[in-house]
Each structure stands twice: as structure tokens, then as C-alpha cells.
Amino acid sequence: MWYRARGQLGPALALLGCVAGWPVLAQAAVDNCVVVPDQPPSESFRFRDSAEHRALAERLPPGVAIGSIRIRRFAVFDNNDPAESGALYRWANNFHSVTREWVVRDNLLVEEGEAYEQRRIEESERILRNLKFIYDARVRPWRWCGDTVDVEVVTRDIWTFLPSISFSRSGGENTYALGFRDSNFLGTGKQVLLEYDSDEERAGYTLNYSDPNVMGTRWQLRARYTDNDDGYDHNLRINRPFFSIYERWAAGGELGELKLEEKLWFRGDEVAEFDHEQDDYRLFGGYAAHPEPGKRVSRWLYGYTYQRHNFSFSDSDIPPSSLPEDRTYSFPYFGYQSVEDEFAELHNFDYLSRTEDVFIGERYQWSLGYSSEGLDATRDQVAFQGSYDNTLLAGNGQLWVVGSTLSGFWTLDDESFENLWWHVESRYHYKQTRQWALYSGLRLEYTDGLTGENQVVLGGATGLRGYDRNYQAGDRSVVWNLEQRYYSDWHPFRLFRVGLAAFVDVGRAWYENRDNGSNGGVLADAGIGLRLNSSRAEKSAVVHVDVAFPFVKDDDVDGVQVLFTVKDRF
């Protein structure tokens, strides 16, 4: 099973443990305290499970207070390990700025003097592990003296200063980037990025700054400035999210200005290009009434959105026959969110050989708004949005999750949808052994009333790896992916983990009442792939190298596709 057993024993049993010494747990009674011996540094560095720490957590009685919190921070490499004690590894540790202690404390849900709660401990671990610059984390008790318990936080950094020298190929198109980024600038948790990137659609410079804890608070800041050859992208966002299941309120705002050259696709080729300017202004917030950890948490949401879209002809030699209609949305909204507080710790799931916090509960959210001409909108419309996720199986090596999102507008004048987009997805994992797993994914897209700049596309970058990018287009699509995965223990140079996959893809994008041209039916391919997941940097980036062979061919389909991509999962 993937569930972790948790429990508490009463004060009498705890006192008995102090007297008896509990030698089976390797704990010692010192001055009427139960003390867990320090875990060897290399074992802590690798976050190996400690039965002694786990046993102490289970024995703590209700009502004990946190006496102290000590922070143990590890750098990128374990120089106590002969395999990582070479000059290059020592230099890397010396050059790297280890995460500052106050950064770790700012992200904890526990403080000295507060009552010890195991669920706050576990969620603190998840929050730390979710930070871009922390590879893994443990928060655990290590000493218990009467009414107080001392807590230890163990973290390990990843390498965050990276030159952005990258190349990828997907669906017959190349993408590259040059620059640098640091997601833990000088150990402060701040992210800076300066990059030049180029793909099949545009090229330009990007400057990005983000702060996950502004001045040690729960407020977050993100600023982005992008100058492309076809426009720009300027964005500023400041918000206080529902940082944890315990948070009572959230609030924030966002300003955005965007200009780009939109492209429409058919059989992997651009068939139309035009300019699109978009302004986005948003205010949002939420309130949770009496959140109860371990149970379902309910939150009320509210906000205001103003969004303007303008279209014009560009200097392209493939202009569209007509431009999409300019439009403005302006609406207040309210909504509701419900989340079950259920997580499991997995390994060899979306990544290789590291702890993954996977949501295994049910959650849903909806919101409704009214975009009115009286608020400067183009027409009177109802704005709607909703999402639903649920875990159907979790345990005995199986995980089956389903999810769906729905968004769009209902126009009151002609009683029609505008940009209705319905997405449904199912993902099933079956762990055959520790290293082998079978994966099946099914994704469906359905739209209605799409405006002229939007289309549903399917190809090499969206699930059909044997075909060009955006090979098929339509107003709906379906794709099924089947993979046999292998998570190896190979750890070359102690820098990255290696995995393998054999896959089959089947799918189609089409229009309901419109001919989609030759080779517009169901497509299929098969192939093999290599997966590389860094153990020292970019922990959520998995490099995919795939070789795919299409089964359904046409004159514009190559006999083999080679794809180099970076994705956020295996």
C-alpha cells in the first residue's frame, strides 16, 4: 500500500517507553527525555527512512508543544561519500549558495511554542518539497521531554544556477534557448531569469523575477518582461494563495499586456498569420470557513476580470481571409472550491528515485460571472469555469485518476456558446515492480463556438509522437497513450537518473461537419524513448528523447520522427 500509517499512543505508554528505553527503536532516555540518535549524514542526505524518528512521532501524546526547531541544510553533493568527494563535486558545493535558514523557516507551518500537530508537520514537508530549489525535505521530531518536543528540519538543495543552453525537437520543429536562470538566487529563494529563446512561432528575450515569500510573508510576487520579434509579453502578479490546507484567506491581483502573431495550422504547416493584442486585469480572492485538516476543506472564491482582445493584419504573406472579431470581457464572479486533504508519498512515478507528493483525493471548483455591456464588455454573456479531479484507485501498486475542466461564455442575445472548451483526462499507473510500471492515458477535447484565433490541434507535441507538430486540426480531439516504463537505478556521474519507455499512440483531431482533408482519420504510431531526470538540478524537468514510427502515412508524413523535448513528468 502507498498510505503511510500514522498514530499516537497515550501519555502512559509514552512514559513507559521512557522508562523501558525502547531499545528496539534505538531511542535513549536522557534526563527523562526520549532522544533519537542522530542519523548519519549520508543517510540524512539521501532521505532514507528513519524508523526511530517515525516511532517517536507515533508515540507523542496530544498537547505537547514544540520546544525548538533545528534546521539541517545539505548542499548539492554529499562530500562525505567517496563517490562525491572529488574536486569537481567539492567545487560545485563551494560555488553553490545553500538555501538560507530563514527561507526554510518562512515555509514551515510550525513554530516554537505551538502545539505539535503531525498533519502540519507532513504538510510542511510537502511545501518544502514543492519549492523549485529543494530536492527533498523531512520534518520530524528528534527529542521529547515531558510537555515539549524538539523538531528537526532536513533539506537538500539542487543546483539552481544554470546556463540556458537547450535544444529540443518535436513534431519536425526545432526549439532552442540561450541565457541563464537561478531559482534560488544567493540562497534566498528568489528566482531570476534572462533568456533568449526561439521556436517555430517566435524568438525573443525574456527577463523574469519571482519571490515566493515577499519579506518573509505568505505573499508572492512574479514579474515578467518579454520582447519578441512579433510582439511582447508583460506581466505582474502579486498574490497570497491558499498556502496550505490551514489557510483562511487568499487574495491577489494581476496585470498583463500581450502582443503576438497568432498562427493557424493544417497538416503541420502554417496556413494563416495575424496580430493579436490582449490586455488582462484581474483581482481575486477567497475565504475558507473553518478548515479542518484531514477532511474536506471548503472555500468561497470571488474576483473581477477585465480582458480585451484586438486583432489586425500582420506583415505575413499568409494573411487570413478574415480577422477574428475584436471583443472585450468585463465581469465580476464568485465561485466555490472543495478539496480533500489526502496525499500519498510515491517513488518512481512522474520522476525517478525521489519522493513525490501525489494528491489522491477528490477536489472540484466552479465559478460564475456576468460580463455586461454596462461594464464595457462587447456583449452580455455568462462566464463559467469548472474543474473536477478524483482518484478512483490508490493502493496495491495502482493509481487511477480522472479529471475534467470546462470553461467558456454563454451569449444571451443569440443563446450560443463562445469559446466553450471541455477537457477530460484519465491517467492510470500500475506498478508491476519497483522499477517497472504500465501507464495508460486518455485525453479528450471538445469545443463549441471557437473564435478565429483558437483551434484544437494534435501532433508530435500533443500526444501523437509519430507526426509533425499540429498535424491535425479541428474542434475536437481524442488521444490515447500506452507506455511500458522502466525506472533504472543507473545514476551516471551522480548527476541524473535514467529511464526507458516503449509506447503506442492513437488519436485524431477533427471537425464535426467539415472535411479534414487527406489523412484526416485516426492516426497511430509506436516507438521507444529515453528519459533523463536530473538528481541535482531542474527536479521537475524530464528530458524525453523519443523515436516514433507512424503507422498511418501520407506523402507529408516522414517514416520516422525523432523528438527531443523537456516535460514536467515521465
* Residue pLDDT, tens place only, 491-507: 999 999 999 999 999 99
Least confident of 86-95, 196-205, 298-307: 196-205
Q: What is the pLDDT of residues 57-69, one digit of tens each?
A: 999 999 899 999 9
Q: Is the pLDDT of residue 11 over 50?
A: no
Q: Is the pLDDT of residue 351 over 80?
A: yes
Q: Which residues contact 65 (CB under 8 A, 6 or more apart)?
A: 113, 114, 115, 116, 147, 148, 149
CA 67 – CA 140 distance, rounded (Å) = 13
Q: Are 154 and 41 in contact (CB under 8 A)?
A: no
Q: Is the pLDDT of residue 256 over 60?
A: yes
Which pLDDT value is given to residue 463? 93
Which pLDDT value is given to residue 445? 98
The pTM score is 0.86
Stretch (H or E) spanning 130? helix 118-130
Rounded to an integer, the average pLDDT of 341-368 is 92
Q: What is the pLDDT of residues 382-418, one digit of tens each?
A: 999 999 999 999 988 999 999 999 999 999 999 999 9
Q: Is the pLDDT of residue 294 over 80?
A: no
Q: Is the pLDDT of residue 164 over 60?
A: yes
Q: Which residues contact 415 (CB under 8 A, 6 or more apart)?
A: none
Which pLDDT value is given to residue 514? 84
Name the DSSP class of 266.
E
Which pLDDT value is given to residue 1? 37
Rounded to an integer, the average pLDDT of 374-378 is 96
Q: Is the pLDDT of residue 121 over 60?
A: yes
Cell of 407: 470553461
CA 467 – CA 549 distance, rounded (Å) = 9
Which pLDDT value is given to residue 271? 92
Which pLDDT value is given to residue 293? 66
Q: Is the pLDDT of residue 14 over 50?
A: no
Which pLDDT value is given to residue 169? 57
Which pLDDT value is given to residue 21? 40
Beta bridge partners of 264: 272
* Residue that has been written with the C-alpha cell 507532513 in this structure: 122
Cell of 226: 518579454
Q: Is 212 helix (H, G, I), strand (E, B) or coil?
A: coil
Question: Residue 105 — pLDDT band, cuts 50, 70, 90?
Answer: very high
Q: Is the pLDDT of residue 23 over 80?
A: no
Question: Residue 228 — pLDDT band, cuts 50, 70, 90?
Answer: confident
Phi, psi of 19 (to 5 degrees): -70, -45
Rounded to an integer, the average pLDDT of 318-347 is 95
Q: Is the pLDDT of residue 2 over 70?
A: no
CA 96 – CA 84 distance, rounded (Å) = 15
- With left for phi above 0 and alpha for psi between -120 and 50, is residue 17 left, alpha or beta? alpha
Name the DSSP class of 318.
S
Q: Are 356 and 343 in contact (CB under 8 A)?
A: no
Could you tell me the CA-to-CA distances from 80 to 40, 85, 137, 157, 525 in Å, in that order? Answer: 10, 7, 19, 16, 47
Least confident of 98-112, 325-339, 537-551: 537-551
Closest CA to 497 of 556, 524, 537, 446: 537
Could you tell me the CA-to-CA distances from 330 to 91, 128, 279 in Å, in that order? Answer: 55, 37, 11
Could you tell me the CA-to-CA distances from 391 to 130, 188, 354, 362, 460 in Å, in that order? Answer: 21, 36, 22, 6, 28
Q: Is the pLDDT of residue 90 over 70?
A: yes
Q: Residue 302 is which amino acid?
A: Y
Tell me the average pLDDT of the chain.
90
Question: Residue 18 — pLDDT band, cuts 50, 70, 90?
Answer: very low
